[in-house]
Amino acid sequence: MKKVVSVLLALMMALSIAACASTAGTEPTPPSGQSASPSGNASPSQTPDSTGPRTITDMAGKEVTIPATVNKIADAWFAHNEIAVMLGADSKIVATAMNEKTYPWLYLVGPGLSNALSTFGTDFNLEELVQKSPDIVFCSTSDKNIEKLQSMGIPVVQLMFTSFDEMRKCVTLTGDILGGDAVAKAAAYNDYLSGKLESIKAVTDKIAAADRPKVLHVTSLSPLQVDGSDTIIDDWINVAGGVNAAASVKSNMQQVTMEQVIAWNPDVIIVGGNAGNSETLAKDPNWASIAAVQKGQVYQNPAGAFLWDRYGAEEALQIQWAAKTINPDLFKDLDIASEAKSFYKTFLNYDLTDDQVQKILTAQKP
């Protein structure tokens, strides 16, 4: 009898030890709806299911629910197409405001664009766009087709910036929406832009207000249009050490009279990359009395994958070109051709030849 009791006691002890061992190092199963993780680090804006939709706030302050993965893009803002291409999304663009005839450099560095539908603007075709089934539509906050786009039931993300601070936010937001490698590419671009802004402003911030040249940026010769304040153009003029001669005029591409230009009497005139020929302006007798013409300081703005002066990724090159153009004595060692080559290789994954660089610097097509 004693032997039987001893065997039973030994068996019970063995079972108890085995039970303890089976539960060692494991967390208890949480109640339904609670996380097994004790950290509690997830923010309210995060979606526990990483494959589900997510909500972002666009640059119009609107909350927009977008897919976890964005594979097909429609981009209605001309300038933003270059940012999307820079972030590696040219093959994702199924509809674009661009066309190869007008922007051949962009199609050269972003060959995936060749498969995209050219629409938006005056050629906007809602039915054709719907057939492309984009996951998301990018557009500027001033786009006249926003309501039509929203009627599609496809997420519409509105974008806009008038300063370099806002531009960096736009690039970051775009990278976050695209996901994957685009996040790191956006951060790298913003670091480059910030570095160039800092190095240029370290020089130009020392220029007294009275010594800053008056700069006029012409966006069209006929009709005569200029860029005023509250624009990225106004921002890069100031960064480069100038003052916007048309600062009294607000916004982009504002029509003005020759009398206004004569009254402003700019020291430097920059003709936009698609605004017309700078030589035409310089030889026009109507402009002959203006200081910039008399001093031979009328310049053609470079234009590459997009217009350097207008809201695209090449704003990072524009600030350098503008600084050297407006204040050449302060930036003698700045080699714009070399910077352009390096930029295209690093951010647009394209090796420019010397001939191609010169064409971009003089706003010529490939």
Give residue-wise pLDDT tens across range 198-249.
999 999 999 999 999 999 999 999 999 999 999 999 999 999 999 999 999 9
pTM: 0.85
- Kindly state the percentage of the chain with pLDDT values over 70: 86
CB 171 within 8 A of CB 79: no
Kind and range of the H or E run holding 49: none
pLDDT digits (tens, 9 = 90+) for 333-346: 999 999 999 999 99
Band (pLDDT 50/70/90 cuts) for residue 122 is confident
Position 287 scores a pLDDT of 98
| Residue 111: closest CA among 134, 131, 88 | 88
Mean pLDDT within 183-200: 98
> Domain map of the chain by residue range?
54-189, 207-361
Query: Are 175 and 181 within 8 A, CB to CB?
Result: no
54-189 and 207-361: identical CATH topology: yes
Q: Tens of pLDDT along 68-92?
A: 999 999 999 999 999 999 999 999 9
Render 206-219 in DSSP notation, one character per residue: TS-GGGSPEEEEEE
pLDDT at 132 over 50: yes
Average confidence score pLDDT of the chain: 88
The pLDDT, as a whole number, for residue 121 is 80
> In this model, does residue 139 exceed pLDDT 80?
yes
| Residue-wise pLDDT tens digits, 167-184 | 999 999 999 999 999 999
Is pLDDT of 11 > 60?
no
User: What span, in angstroms and rounded, lies between the C-alpha atoms of 86 and 83?
Assistant: 5
The CATH number of the domain covering residues in 54-189: 3.40.50.1980
Confidence bin at 123 (pLDDT 50/70/90): confident
> Does the pLDDT value for residue 151 go beyond 60?
yes
Write down the pLDDT at residue 50. Answer: 62
Say what the pLDDT of residue 52 is.
Answer: 87
Neighbours of 194 (CB within 10 A): 14
| C-alpha–C-alpha distance, residues 112 and 100, integer Å | 12
Range from 50-64, 237-251, 304-318 carrying the lowest mean pLDDT: 50-64
Among 37, 116, 164, 104, residue whose Cα is nearest residue 363: 104
Q: Which ranges constitute the DSSP H helices of the chain?
A: 2-23, 78-86, 104-109, 126-131, 146-150, 164-178, 181-204, 232-239, 258-264, 278-283, 291-294, 315-326, 336-347, 354-361
Per residue in 18-45, pLDDT (tens digit) is: 333 333 333 333 333 333 333 333 223 3
Which CATH superfamily hosts domain 207-361?
Nitrogenase molybdenum iron protein domain (3.40.50.1980)
